[in-house]
Chain A
């Protein structure tokens, strides 16, 4: 039977059905891509939008009189700074005498206002005796009102600001005494129970110290183990067992590492709880297997021909590895390490077991100071229902994502460099 010739111009039904399948598959793929991208994009935009108020802080301009009588004590820290704030408020809103009203008036300012004054006098005692117009932080409720996050129409008993406070706010606003300033405190302060005083810096520094410990421990150990296993170790049952164990370790739930750290580092070795030192040690246990696996893959990807060339020239095994294989594999090893660190950076579960979930009101000075880390800070703030904390939570997430973007950019850059310098491996 002779086969019918296929027409070049009008595709047959079978061919048309084939094209239809192709098109359906393509469509499904595109829809999946669009769905995932738009979901991620929406989440990110929502977080970014929520976080924006946290980057500014409403301030009220107050005429502060640093009167000498207030600083009668030698110790400047003992002066009554709250009184200075109260006097300044009384100057711009005169006629408040009732104690309850006075309390309302003081409630417009953040406790941070007095603290700021104390810092200013401490850094420059010559201020005593002068008068200054200063922008001082308003309370979280005023801040929210200013940012349009407080509904004036809710009935007074359920509203966080009284009728008087709203009236004063409008008065000050009309005088141009209320303004939003860049929230420097957020980037320089440790955590605080007051939203307008709480900053991310304590957690960022805690995270960086923890990552430093993790890097210092897991990179040399991981890369060294990988080099030994890949290049030197004999292939026998023992090394196979070790390899399999390491691969399995990468799949152990992180919280188990936390339990291990609690049992070994804290309860047995009595290392201080909730410190970057212990957190870094536990996280390096967690990243160690993934660094080993990534490094071994990078080493295995280096073409043996270069190694052979060195051996044939009379280089020792060690020389051929350190001179040729390691430099070629280094970008891959570093990439694996960075990805492992990025994973550890966002890890919360094992650190719960180490007591890092506690409130830490100081910036850690070293690796043995109590500290918290960024993801833990996010967890803590997300749990706090106080005014202003949801915005802080979102802002902390944005900061954390920024760090991850930086790390991933570095990884990309390393990959590019790798491809350029070793064309025959790519």
Chain B
């Protein structure tokens, strides 16, 4: 499912971290980001951020802007720091004890790593969908209602019902589950569970949604549904999508960033990255995966 071009689809290729094509050593001039990392009116801007796990540097000094209502795809081989970068943006790294983040990330001009910043409002504004669907072992309704409940977003039961309904509708799951809202979410298929997790994130009305390989465990049909959903959501939300499948990046994103061994190698409009990449590394990675 990863890099099946139409011609090879009957012979699925297996790709894993080990035999990732396009993996090669960085040269000194690759440490400079190519392309256009900066925007005029960014929603989030990262400046010179650096992430360490203990002594090990997982993300080298990098800067990147994320705009309003855009889909930014992040591609790159396994272990290049995509998830690490994503976790910086809503401070999910805080719960990893040995992880330290340096540099500045601002959301609407406020540095989210400032010591006065409260992570609760930050995470309600920057939601996250994980690689493996992780619904709570509760009913479908309670899964969606959990966020609004802890934040007190609904004054009454009917308001809560409305939030649940609209979230499920926006996540394209409403028709499939409307008759069994009270049954357990664990009984859904993994594709439905992933869309439930997206609906759960939508219920707290975030501005940014971080998605960490949301389709990696899904079958092609479920993947198509999630991609359609991302397309629809990009009208209202900024979405940062980490993906292993670069065709997915070309299908849903406006901008693409390529990470390699902890460096942000290149970033720019998706069409340009896929046709005329500036960096040799980007070109090698993309051509190896598209053919």
Contact = CB atoms under 8 A, between A and B. Distances in A.
Interface residues of B, number: 26
Interface residues of A, number: 23
Interface stretch (A80-88, A346-354, A418-426): A418-426
Given A306-B136, A319-B150, A422-B137, A312 B97 contact: no
Interface in A284-343: 303, 305-306, 308-317, 319, 323-324, 328
A235 interface: yes
A309 B136 contact: yes
Given A235-B97, A305-B132, A313 B146 contact: yes
A324 B132 CA distance: 17
Contacts, number: 65
Given A305-B130, A308-B92, A313 B137 contact: no
A315 B201 CA distance: 12
A308 to B, nearest CB: 7
B135 to A, nearest CB: 8
Interface in B144-179: 146-147, 150-151
A421 B137 contact: yes
Nearest to B121: A314
Given A308-B134, A319-B150, A422-B137, A313 B127 contact: yes
Nearest to B210: A312
B95 interface: yes
Contacts of A316: 120
B134 A309 contact: yes
A40 to B, nearest CB: 38
B248 interface: no
Interface string B180-215: 000000100000000001001100100000000000
B128 A312 contact: yes
B92 A313 contact: no
Contacts of A323: 146, 150
Contacts of A314: 119-121, 123-124, 147, 150-151, 204
Contacts of B95: 308, 311, 317
A319 B119 CA distance: 13
Contact of A306 (B127, B134, B204): B134
A303 B134 CA distance: 9
A306 B197 CA distance: 11
Contacts of A317: 95
A303 B135 CA distance: 11
Closest 8 CB pairs between A and B?
A: A305-B134, A312-B128, A314-B124, A314-B123, A313-B147, A309-B134, A314-B120, A422-B137
Interface of A: 234-235, 303, 305-306, 308-317, 319, 323-324, 328, 421-424
Given A312-B123, A315-B146, 11 more contacts: A234-B97, A306-B137, A312-B92, A312-B127, A312-B130, A313-B124, A313-B147, A313-B204, A314-B121, A314-B151, A316-B120
14 contacts: A306-B137, A311-B95, A312-B127, A312-B128, A313-B123, A313-B204, A314-B119, A314-B120, A314-B124, A315-B146, A316-B120, A421-B137, A423-B186, A424-B137
